[in-house]
Amino acid sequence: DAKTTQPPSMDCAEGRAANLPCNHSTISGNEYVYWYRQIHSQGPQYIIHGLKNNETNEMASLIITEDRKSSTLILPHATLRDTAVYYCIVRLPGGSNYKLTFGKGTLLTVNP
């Protein structure tokens, strides 16, 4: 699986949009981009995933650049409960690629 690079930490004001970047410059054509987050003392929570097109669900939007070398997770109106470590991973379906690994992620702190 391609490696990803994320900033170690970010701050965001409550009610503002949080834009979390992820670099995956070595991504291959069939690898998907997934975002998870982990709130303190909870299990990882799936947020969103995509291949080429931008995606939106009730939690967030995922913007993938045309060359697919980077992506941005957007939380449109961050709340205090969105404070968590956010992980960006890329995964190719198939084989033994179900063994998920997380990097260090981005600690997003939402401030009142």
Partner 1 sequence: GAGVSQSPSNKVTEKGKDVELRCDPISGHTALYWYRQSLGQGLEFLIYFQGNSAPDKSGLPSDRFSAERTGGSVSTLTIQRTQQEDSAVYLCASSPAAVTTNQPQHFGDGTRLSIL
DSSP secondary structure code for residue 81 in this structure: G
Nearest distance in Å: CB 106, partner 1: 14
- The reply on whether position 7 binds partner 1 by CB under 8 A is no
Residue holding tokens 């699986």?
A: 1
Kindly give, in sequence order, each residue whose CB lies less than 8 Å from that of residue 23, ignoring residues fewer than 6 positions away. Answer: 4, 5, 6, 69, 70
CB of 74 to partner 1, least distance (A): 18
Q: Which of 43, 46, 2, 44 is nearest to 22 (CA)?
A: 2
Q: Does the footprint of partner 1 cover residue 97 (CB under 8 A)?
A: yes
Count of residues of this chain found to bind partner 1 when the rule CB under 8 A is applied: 21
Q: Is 102 in the site for partner 1 (CB under 8 A)?
A: yes
Q: CB-hemisphere CA count at 13 Å for 17? A: 10
Residues in 53-82 at the binding interface with partner 1, rule: CB under 8 A: none
State the residues that interact with partner 1 by CB under 8 A.
32, 34, 41-46, 49, 51, 91, 93-94, 96-103
